[in-house]
Amino acid sequence: MTSVSTTSPAPDRTCSFKQSDSPITSPLPPLREWQTRRHSSHHVLGFELTEAIARRYCQEEFPIPEGASELKVEAHLTVMEDVVPDILGRKFAVPIIPAPLVKEPSALSGMTHVIALADNWAPQRRWRQPPSPEVVDQIADELQLEGAEREPRWYKCVDQD
């Protein structure tokens, strides 16, 4: 009677890892300027709430009545300082706060309102951190911004001197 060996050879436990098996890792994109700035005084990261943006939202969301006086148009645009951030805050993960008044030397009065993407003094920690670059780009698309306007900036809030 012949005996048949029922033992199988030991499994090969050597690693046959080849260079081509490694996951492809691309370097992280460089940080954008707004991602690297930190301020100790009250600042918000955002886009300037221009009259063009306010008018566009007026037409899309809350049309200005035909033949409205200039005073009514101005009042309507002022209301957009609350409405636009509210609309964006519901659509994207950004603070829903009325457009804060900030210092802006290029503005006629030296101040302007911005659509806040982050507030370094926000009571909720999640609103202190800037959104991801992808979300910032989506918001810039939503606002129909072009060129340098697509990059948000840190603005010093008027409540601080």
How sure is the predictor about 10, in pLDDT bands with cuts at 50, 70 and 90? Answer: low
The reply to whether 6 falls in a domain is no
The size of the chain, in residues, is: 161
The reply to whether 104 falls in a domain is yes
pLDDT confidence of residue 161: 45
pLDDT confidence of residue 154: 94
Percentage of the residues of the chain whose pLDDT score is greater than 90: 33
pLDDT confidence of residue 60: 80
**Total of domains in the chain:** 1
Over residues 83-112, mean pLDDT:
87
CA dist., res. 64 & res. 75, Å (int)? 10
Over residues 76-104, mean pLDDT:
89
The reply to whether 64 falls in a domain is yes
Whether the predicted pLDDT of 118 surpasses 90: yes
The reply to whether 127 falls in a domain is yes
The reply to whether 119 falls in a domain is yes
Cβ-based neighbours of 144, under 8 Å, separated by 6 or more? 53, 56
Give the chain's mean pLDDT.
Answer: 82
Over residues 56-74, mean pLDDT:
84
pLDDT confidence of residue 15: 47
How sure is the predictor about 9, in pLDDT bands with cuts at 50, 70 and 90? Answer: low
pLDDT confidence of residue 132: 93
Instruction: Read off the pLDDT of residues 139-152 as tens digits, 9 standing for 90 and up.
Output: 999 999 999 999 99
The reply to whether 28 falls in a domain is no
pLDDT confidence of residue 85: 92
Which range marks the domain in which residue 134 is found?
35-156
The reply to whether 2 falls in a domain is no
- The number of beta carbons lying within 10 Å of the beta carbon of residue 158 is 15
Hey, what amino acid is at 131? P
46: nearest Cα among 158, 156, 153, 161: 153
Phi, psi at 29, each rounded to 5°: -65, 150
The reply to whether 10 falls in a domain is no
pLDDT higher at 69 or 3: 69
Cβ-based neighbours of 95, under 8 Å, separated by 6 or more? 85, 89, 116, 117, 118, 119, 122, 124, 127
CA dihedral for 97, 99, 103, 104, sign (positive or negative): positive
CA dist., res. 73 & res. 69, Å (int)? 6
